[in-house]
Structure 1
């Protein structure tokens, strides 16, 4: 199955989750992250606002001993802004919630860790995104390449192998409702 067909199939499966099942699976992912020694010692973490029934990380944001960075789509790239619960958000490109453009930005040197949304991830750490290349460009750039990354997907989207392209960068780990690998 090629990337387009696989993406369509997995997005349909994710969309078919009941609200309760989506919430329970998302909460388990957050619990695994908060229990992980890979995650907990970090201070400044890049994350995302859930859309299209992605795993929801919003309950993480209430752990205020972390500095949260959330993305805005700017042209073909992601701009990262500091965001804390209570800060304003807006609906941006692709219908995704994002911080206001006036929110303070985060430089790559300040970032300790990146939580990466995905349609799917495989056992080798490769991810299947939405096809826009935003995270591919981010993770392949020199200032971001060394940052530890965790792909966030539901277990049904954690697959033995995904089709890959030469520009794909593997993630350091993957977290599903069944645990961190």
Structure 2
């Protein structure tokens, strides 16, 4: 089996597992992940934050987005222009969000562009990852391209029940140093301090 086939197989497994998670577990894990994230000094000290808008299959990031705006941080979100191009656009209100290319809420086309270099702290999605920060995304490579040019703090957020230690990786797959689940924070695979 090729690495691509391994990834596709794992995506299928995780999609099936994700649908079996109870709504109670989802809500509880979302609340705990958000609380842990908001307690991270790196988040608190960041002036410019990059985050995604969670879909129904992902962690609900709206409380994080609302907090960043309330704290007067510069908040930028991904906007997908095509199958290979993702840009970062700033929002000033959650009301600014509009459905994008994949039906996912994103900033409107007229929202200001930010460069990767302007971001202090990034909160990244994954379908699954391991505690070492090797992630499996949806296969479009948007976040790998982002990480290729990004040099500041980044954290992957994932529900603990979706963590898989065996992640098929390829040379273009960039690990993320911090992984945050409802259980807590991991740094390079080791449980780490929070707050």
Aligned to 1:89: 97
Give the aligned partner of residue 52 of structure 2. 48
1:177 matched to 2:174 = no
1:161: how far off?
Answer: 2.7
Over aligned residues, Cα RMSD in angstroms? 1.6
Q: Does structure 1 residue 74 correspond to structure 2 residue 81?
A: yes
- Post-superposition Cα deviations, 1:13-39, rounded to whole Å, max 9, x if no partner, equal 222223332122111100001112232
Offset of residue 86 of structure 1: 4.0
Take 2:47 and 2:19, find their aligned partners in 1: how far apart are those partners?
Answer: 33
| TM-score, length basis structure 2 | 0.85
> What SS does the corresponding residue of 1:138 show, helix, strand or coil?
helix
User: Which residue in 1 is equivalent to 2:189?
Assistant: none
Does structure 2 conserve the Cα–Cα contact (< 8 Å) formed by 1:61 and 1:84?
Answer: no
Residue-pair matches, total? 178
CA distance in 2, matches of 1:84, 1:155: 31
Q: Which moved more, 1:98-107 or 1:83-92?
A: 83-92
SS at match of 2:57: coil
3-state SS of the aligned residue for 2:41? Answer: coil
2:34/2:61 contact within 8 Å kept: yes
Instruction: Provide the residue aligned with 2:26 in structure 1.
Output: 22
Rounded Cα–Cα distance in structure 2 between residues aligned with 1:83 and 1:5: 36
Whole-angstrom CA distance in 1 between matches of 2:92 and 2:135:
27
Residue 121 of structure 1: which of 122, 129, 154 is its match? 129
Q: Which residue of 2 aligns with 1:111?
A: 119
**Residue range with higher mean Cα deviation, 25-34 or 74-83:** 74-83
Aligned to 2:146: 138
Gaps of 5+ in 1: none
- Is there any run of 5+ residues in structure 2 with no aligned partner, and where? 187-195
- Give 1:52 deviation, angstroms: 4.0
Q: Which residue of 2 aligns with 1:149?
A: 154
TM-score between the two structures when normalised by the length of structure 1: 0.91
Partner residue, 1:167: 172
SS of 2:37 mapped into structure 1: helix
Higher mean Cα deviation, 12-21 or 150-159? 12-21
